[in-house]
């Protein structure tokens, strides 16, 4: 008898771990095969939706695609692309003697760094980097299993649960700290394993019989103290004698092709807002002086369809903020009568929580900055409005410095 989960038929198990189980499955209508992960970690549905939606926006040839997410039978499920090929763990078991040739292992590590450099640029940390989660596809390594990924702030954040695999998990995760250096440890431990045939032991002084530069790179990547560890996967790739190919993935920051404000500046503002307010998305709209409409000129996250859209005067939370000049925090968008649900649904992104503040020059409102979906699942509150208003003031100062004298840009 077929076992089903939502719109999918489970065909066979692929892997099982502490955080969930992964199955080969087929979509009922198209029979397209996918990797279906059932998450066992206890977390609220809102946070799962926010995180899954963010992962669905990642697009890079070395990062597995997350197609969708759903709830079924009381469980939370992620639908991912099915990457055909052995994991590096399987490859090690098949060809390890006890490890793989050093040059080959280093190239696999470089490809993993390439994937991680992209996801770190999108404010995501994998947290479970290991040979099992690196699949050797037709075009090289693909990093999979982002079901336990976690956002981070610059400087690190506190996680809600200890997630990872002993031997590959950075020690600071035990204290709940998450930063990109967690993944540096994971990829360094993976490279060690591919060369030695077994993972390193925490604090081990012995080094592998490899070239001195590679031994030093492994030692720095496996530092127990994150402050002394290699600071980024790009730096680790350089240390092992390679370099990360410039990002080929799609950035979550987008703006109009010909916006009034320089595109790079808008994207930089939104990237900063996402990091400061631990958001899954952000957008910026400027007022059209002729019509009074808000024109969305830039976004970060899954809400790319918002670009170029015009919001009539007074519509939605953004319209209210533009009209009153006062910032608003909406803890639960779906229950707030000011939230324009139908309009938001047209973009394909209906946020759970929202922070909206005006962009003001003196007494004039020039537009609005919106921060959407706190990644920890909590709602934004009044205490966030003051910080967001200060951030908006700084952002507007940056815009005015860049476009001094261009009144068509900042009305």
Distances (CA, A) of 77 to 18, 161, 286, 338: 15, 19, 38, 32
255 contacts 285 by C-beta, under 8 angstroms: no
Between the alpha carbon of residue 210 and those of residues 100, 101, 188, 267, the distances in Å are 13, 11, 14, 43
Rg (CA), the chain: 23
How many of the other CB atoms lie within 10 Å of CB of 250? 14
Q: Which of 128, 373, 376, 384 is an active site residue?
A: 128
Q: Are 37 and 78 in contact (CB under 8 A)?
A: yes
CA–CA gap between residue 383 and residue 391 (Å, rounded): 14
| Closest listed residue to residue 232, CA positions, set 118, 144, 145, 147 | 118
Report the side by side order of strands in the sheet with 3-5: 3-5, 8-17, 20-27, 33-39, 75-81, 66-72
Q: Phi/psi zone of residue 284: left (φ > 0), alpha (ψ -120 to 50 degrees), beta?
A: beta
90 is catalytic: no
Number of C-beta neighbours around residue 81 at 10 A: 17
Give the H/E segment covering residue 84.
none
In 3D space, the residue among 376, 302, 345 whose CA is nearest the CA of residue 55 turns out to be 302
What phi and psi, each to the nearest 5 degrees, are found at residue 303?
A: -95, 45
SS3 254: strand
Helix, strand, or coil here: 381? coil
DSSP 313-372: TT-HHHHHHHHH---EEES-GGG-TTS-HHHHHHTT---SSEEEEEEEETTEEEEEEEEE
Instruction: List active site positions.
Output: 128
């Amino acid at each position: 008898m077929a076992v089903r989960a939502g719109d999918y038929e489970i065909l066979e198990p692929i892997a099982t771990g502490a955080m969930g189980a992964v199955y080969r499955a087929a979509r009922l209508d198209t029979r397209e095969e996918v990797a279906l992960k059932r998450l066992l970690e206890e977390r609220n549905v809102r946070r799962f939706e926010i995180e899954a939606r963010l992962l669905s926006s990642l697009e890079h040839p070395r990062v597995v695609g997350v197609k969708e997410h759903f709830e079924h039978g009381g469980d939370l499920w992620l639908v991912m692309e099915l990457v055909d090929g052995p994991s590096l763990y399987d490859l090690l078991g098949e060809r390890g003697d006890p490890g793989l040739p050093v040059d080959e292992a280093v190239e696999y590590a470089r490809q993993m760094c390439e994937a991680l450099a992209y996801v770190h640029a999108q404010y995501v940390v994998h947290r479970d980097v290991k040979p099992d989660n690196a699949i050797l596809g037709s075009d090289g390594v693909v990093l999979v299993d982002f079901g336990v990924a976690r956002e981070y702030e610059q400087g690190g954040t506190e996680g809600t649960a200890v997630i990872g695999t002993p031997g590959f998990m950075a020690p600071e995760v035990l204290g709940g700290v998450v930063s990109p250096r967690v993944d540096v440890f994971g990829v360094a431990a993976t490279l060690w394993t591919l060369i030695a045939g077994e993972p390193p032991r925490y604090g081990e002084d012995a080094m592998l019989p490899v070239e001195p530069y590679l031994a030093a790179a492994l030692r720095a990547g496996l530092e127990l103290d994150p402050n002394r560890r290699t600071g980024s996967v790009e730096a680790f790739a350089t240390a092992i004698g390679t370099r990360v190919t410039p990002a080929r993935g799609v950035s979550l920051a987008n703006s109009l092709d010909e916006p009034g404000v320089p595109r790079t500046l808008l994207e930089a503002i939104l990237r900063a807002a996402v990091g400061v307010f631990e958001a899954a998305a952000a957008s910026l709209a400027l007022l059209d002086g002729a019509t009074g409409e808000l024109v969305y000129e830039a976004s970060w996250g899954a809400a790319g369809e918002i670009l170029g859209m015009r919001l009539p005067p007074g519509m939605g939370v953004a319209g209210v903020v533009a009209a009153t000049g006062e910032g608003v925090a909406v803890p639960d968008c779906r229950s707030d009568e000011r939230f324009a649900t139908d309009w938001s649904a047209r973009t394909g992104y209906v946020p759970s929580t929202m922070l909206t503040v005006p962009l003001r020059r003196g007494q004039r409102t020039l537009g609005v900055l919106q921060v959407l979906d706190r990644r920890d699942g909590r709602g934004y509150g009044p205490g966030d409005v003051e910080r967001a208003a200060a951030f908006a003031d700084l952002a507007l100062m940056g815009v005015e410095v860049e476009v001094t004298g261009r009144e068509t840009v900042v009305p």
